[in-house]
């Protein structure tokens, strides 16, 4: 019997070498994380589709209404005299300068914001005197540049009448223009449950 150099018999089978053992734990962790991500995405899509099915949007010109299970949002750009504040006699509405916004929750609580804009050819003193008499003592008169004037209420108004009580705020802002006076009416506050 002869042996080949290297010590192994020439006719003897060589045992196959086993590949090194892999650690499959890393692959399992990646698979679990990927599966969790897929379940999370599918669950989010399911919840979103359930919510979207219950959202109703009505759009008609300058009126938009969005209703959801949590509440609703109504925007009305055509509502006439939405603030409830008095309009100076003979004042003309400024086109595209008024809207009413109402936010309501499913609980029945609602917040309303309404604005209107008018113009008149009368002078500022005449318009201011009319509003002072018409609005009464509940409204505080503020003049631009005076110590009581609050910049955040109406920074460019020459005269403002401000009413604040609880959750209700109403403002009549008067601005002198070359052709007369611009009147802006603003009402913010809780709406009554209807």
- Convert the pLDDT of each residue in 170-192 to its tens digit: 888 998 888 888 988 888 887 65
**Same domain for 183 and 92:** yes
**Same domain for 30 and 124:** no
Averaged pLDDT for residues 91-98: 75
In a 13 Å sphere around the CA of 194, the CA atoms on its Cβ side amount to 7
Does 93 fall in a domain?
A: yes
Tell me, what's the pLDDT at 154? 53
Q: Is the pLDDT of residue 96 over 80?
A: no
Averaged pLDDT for residues 35-49: 91
Strand, helix or coil at 154? coil
**Same domain for 161 and 93:** yes
**Same domain for 171 and 85:** yes
Tell me, what's the pLDDT at 6? 57
Q: Is the pLDDT of residue 2 over 60?
A: no
Would strands 110-120 and 180-190 be described as parallel, antiparallel, or unpaired?
antiparallel
**Same domain for 41 and 124:** no
DSSP 8-state class, residue 192: P
Q: Which residues make beta-bridge pairs with 28?
A: none
pLDDT greater at residue 123 or residue 79: 123
**Same domain for 118 and 42:** no
Does 32 fall in a domain?
A: yes
Q: How many domains does the chain have?
A: 2
Strand, helix or coil at 49? helix
**Same domain for 92 and 37:** no
Q: Is the pLDDT of residue 106 over 80?
A: no
Averaged pLDDT for residues 136-163: 72
**Same domain for 45 and 88:** no
Does 10 fall in a domain?
A: no
Does 86 fall in a domain?
A: yes
Tens digit of pLDDT for each residue in 61-92? 766 777 776 677 677 666 566 777 888 898 88
Does 105 fall in a domain?
A: no
Q: Is the pLDDT of residue 162 over 80?
A: yes
Gap between the Cα atoms of 181 and 68, Å rounded: 41
**What's the mean pLDDT when you consider all of the chain?**
77
pLDDT greater at residue 137 or residue 20: 137
Does 72 fall in a domain?
A: no
Averaged pLDDT for residues 101-110: 71
**Same domain for 41 and 116:** no
Residue with tokens 């595209």: 96
Does 92 fall in a domain?
A: yes
Q: Which residues contact 182 (CB under 8 A, 6 or more apart)?
A: 94, 117, 118, 119, 174, 175
**Same domain for 125 and 50:** no
Tell me, what's the pLDDT at 84? 79
Gap between the Cα atoms of 140 and 154, Å rounded: 13
User: What percent of the chain has pLDDT above 90?
Assistant: 9
Tell me which residue range forms the domain holding 170.
Answer: 81-97+112-190
**Same domain for 29 and 93:** no
Does 67 fall in a domain?
A: no
**Same domain for 44 and 119:** no
């Amino acid at each position: 019997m002869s042996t080949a150099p290297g010590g192994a018999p020439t006719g003897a089978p060589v045992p196959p070498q086993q590949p090194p053992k892999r650690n499959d734990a890393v692959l399992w962790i990646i698979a679990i994380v990927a599966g969790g991500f897929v379940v999370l995405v599918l669950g989010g899509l399911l919840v979103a589709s359930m919510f979207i099915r219950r959202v109703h949007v009505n759009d008609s010109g300058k009126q938009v209404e969005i209703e959801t299970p949590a509440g609703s949002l109504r925007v009305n750009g055509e509502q006439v005299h939405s603030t409830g504040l008095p309009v100076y006699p003979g004042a003309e509405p400024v086109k595209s300068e008024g809207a009413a916004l109402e936010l309501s929750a499913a609980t029945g609580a609602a917040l309303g914001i309404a604005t209107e804009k008018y113009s008149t050819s009368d002078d500022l003193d005449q318009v201011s005197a009319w509003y002072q008499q018409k609005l009464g003592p509940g409204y505080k008169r503020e003049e631009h540049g005076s110590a009581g004037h609050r910049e955040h209420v109406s920074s460019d108004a020459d005269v403002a009448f401000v009413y604040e009580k609880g959750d209700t705020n109403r403002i009549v802002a008067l601005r002198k223009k070359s052709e007369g006076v611009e009147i802006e009416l603003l009402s913010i506050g809780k709406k009554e449950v209807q």
